């Protein structure tokens, strides 16, 4: 498809397990963003990748969270030793460049930590 693709769409895991969430941005978009949306909360920025530059990790809530972007395209967000407060919808967005361009969102991964 032409949009941002995320997988899985839903993930249920047990507390303490690690999870990996995947994002495939729109073809040609150089910038990629991860956000999360907790119940009743606004979207919260996590991390931003722009081309080959060092990512902006300023939104990652703890060192249990990490992300990488391979080959300037697909990105993986990893949460280690999941906690119940990690339960949220994790949304990925991409844009043509990092500056001034519209961010298009994927449908998200709904993570439930039991």
Look up tokens 């949304």; give the residue: 91
Residue with tokens 């990490």: 66
Q: Which is nearer to another protein, 14 or 28 (CB)?
A: 28
43: contact with another protein by CB under 8 A: yes
User: 113 forms bridges with which residues in the sheet?
Assistant: 13
Closest distance between another protein and the C-beta of residue 96, in Å? 12
CA distance 56 to 3: 23
Q: How far apart are CA 98 and CA 56, in angstroms?
A: 11
The Cβ of residue 31 has, within 10 Å, a number of other Cβ atoms equal to: 19
User: Counting contacts by CB under 8 A, is residue 108 touching another protein?
Assistant: yes
CB of 105 to another protein, least distance (A): 4
Position 106 contacts another protein (CB under 8 A): yes
Interface residue list for another protein (CB under 8 A)? 31, 33, 35, 40-45, 48, 50, 56, 58-59, 91, 98-100, 102-108
């Amino acid at each position: 498809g032409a949009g941002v693709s995320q997988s899985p769409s839903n993930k249920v895991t047990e507390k303490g397990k690690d999870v990996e969430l995947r994002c495939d941005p729109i073809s040609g978009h150089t910038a990629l963003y991860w956000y999360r949306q907790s119940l009743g909360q606004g979207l919260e920025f996590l991390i931003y990748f722009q081309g080959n530059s060092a990512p902006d990790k300023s939104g990652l809530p703890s060192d249990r969270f990490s992300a990488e972007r391979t080959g300037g395209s697909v990105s993986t967000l990893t949460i280690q030793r999941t906690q119940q407060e990690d339960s949220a919808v994790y949304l990925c967005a991409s844009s043509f460049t990092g500056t001034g361009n519209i961010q298009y969102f994927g449908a998200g991964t709904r993570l439930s930590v039991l």
